[in-house]
Amino acid sequence: MSKAHFMKEYLLALVLWLEHPPNFEKCFGMAKKTVVGQKQFSKSDGFRDLVAALKKSSKGRFDLKPQQMKDRFQTYRARYLKAKAYEASTGAGITAEDEAAGVNTMVQKLENMCPWYAK
């Protein structure tokens, strides 16, 4: 498996896990008031759960520490925000360089900037 394919697969697993609202809430602490009797989770616990889920779903190929996962997510988030800002800018479009590289649509360009951008 190529490194690029591995990265896209890893990012898809990350995005899919975070799409589930309780998982997102664990990592980013968007919770409302705590419910009496329920265990409170820290953001570190959320990233630990994310690491465990990715490790299990990948049969051990994604073996990171929670802080490494958090750092990788921050890097991916920066790519997403850059692609989002580009999409919203007035100069956004396909250049001659893009066409030469086989990128013919904005969707392709945004996916190149940030894998799984549309997700």
Run means of pLDDT, 10 residues per run, the chain, 119 residues: 62 87 82 62 82 83 83 90 92 90 93 88
Domain, as residue range, for 48: 3-33+40-113
Q: Is position 119 within any domain?
A: no
Q: Is position 61 within any domain?
A: yes
Q: Is position 118 within any domain?
A: no
CB of 50 closer than 8 Å to CB of 17: yes
Question: pLDDT tens, 49-78?
Answer: 888 888 887 787 777 888 888 888 899 899
User: Residue for token digits 């951008």?
Assistant: 117
CB of 97 closer than 8 Å to CB of 103: no
Give, for 72, the enclosing helix (H) or strand (E).
helix 66-88
> What's the total number of domains in the chain?
1
Q: Is position 87 within any domain?
A: yes
Q: Is position 45 within any domain?
A: yes
